[in-house]
Structure 1
Amino acid sequence: MSQKKPRLESQDQDDHFQCPICYEDWKRKGEHRLVSLACGHLFGNSCIRRWAADSRNDSCPICQKTIKTSKIRNVLPIKLVVQDTSQIDKLSKELDSLKSQIKEKQNALELSKLALSLCQRELEKAKKAHIPSQ
């Protein structure tokens, strides 16, 4: 008998906030607001209506029960979960800092190339001035 690995609790919780068709977060209102089918499964409104409009997909993507668009109901969420963006903000600042450092290094490289070019010209002039003509 094969055993299924238990899913992480946080993974289960995260799945409750995403449409199982497009894997995007549901919205409180608008085209992708949370809706329920008669079977009880939850989807983003635009996704399940698009799914039901496709003649090959006239059943729930999860349990395969027939979808009746007249039975699609809006769901009002009990609580709104705020996504923690601190990690995104931190990485965004780090990215900006690294971009700035790259720009500084590119400018320094250009100055070094210019200095090298000037030194090479001076060297060529010095060689010509010190080579006795034959």
Structure 2
Amino acid sequence: MPIRAYCIICSDFFDHSKDVSAIHCGHTFHYECLLQWFQTAPSKTCPQCRKQVSTKHIINRLFFDVGIEEGTPLDAES
């Protein structure tokens, strides 16, 4: 069974409806959630590990190959 990743800010799973972003510590979040976090948090830290981060280091769009299990043929349409 594949592991489903989620945004710890809003607790929603990552899917194709929202852009997923990352910061230089390696943690991933919904892009909009991360922007809102930086606007409301008193200090610019990662919501997960609390390392100091900067909005200029956000990778604002990640792509995942989701739902592919070992031994399943790849389908270009999905």
Please state how far the C-alpha of 1:57 moved relative to its aligned partner.
4.4
Please state how far the C-alpha of 1:25 moved relative to its aligned partner.
2.1
Residue correspondence of structure 1 range 74-89 to structure 2 within 5 A: 74-77=61-64, 79-81=65-67
Asked if 1:13 corresponds to 2:12, the answer is no
1:53-111, Cα deviation, whole Å (9 max, x unpaired): 1141410011111221111102111x1339xxxxxxxxxxxxxxxxxxxxxxxxxxxxx
Change (3 A) 1:67 1:28: farther
Once the two structures are aligned, what percentage of the paired residues are identical? 22
Structure 2: which 5+ residue stretches go unaligned? 69-78
Asked if 1:24 corresponds to 2:34, the answer is no
Question: How far apart, CA to CA, are the structure 2 residues paired with 1:44 and 1:67?
Answer: 16
Q: Could you tell me which residue of structure 1 aligns to residue 74 of structure 2?
A: none
SS class of match (1:50): helix
Q: Could you tell me which residue of structure 1 aligns to residue 32 of structure 2?
A: 46
1:26-66, Cα deviation, whole Å (9 max, x unpaired): 2436xx31111011000000001100111414100111112
Question: How far apart, CA to CA, are the structure 2 residues paired with 1:46 and 1:22?
Answer: 10
Maintained 8 Å contact 1:51/1:57: no
RMSD over aligned CA atoms reads: 2.3
Larger radius of gyration: 1
Question: How far apart, CA to CA, are the structure 2 residues paired with 1:57 and 1:44?
Answer: 19
Question: How far apart, CA to CA, are the structure 1 residues paired with 2:57 and 2:43?
Answer: 16
Asked if 1:34 corresponds to 2:20, the answer is yes
Question: How far apart, CA to CA, are the structure 2 residues paired with 1:27 and 1:19?
Answer: 10
Q: Could you tell me which residue of structure 2 aligns to residue 67 of structure 1?
A: 53
Question: How far apart, CA to CA, are the structure 2 residues paired with 1:40 and 1:51?
Answer: 16
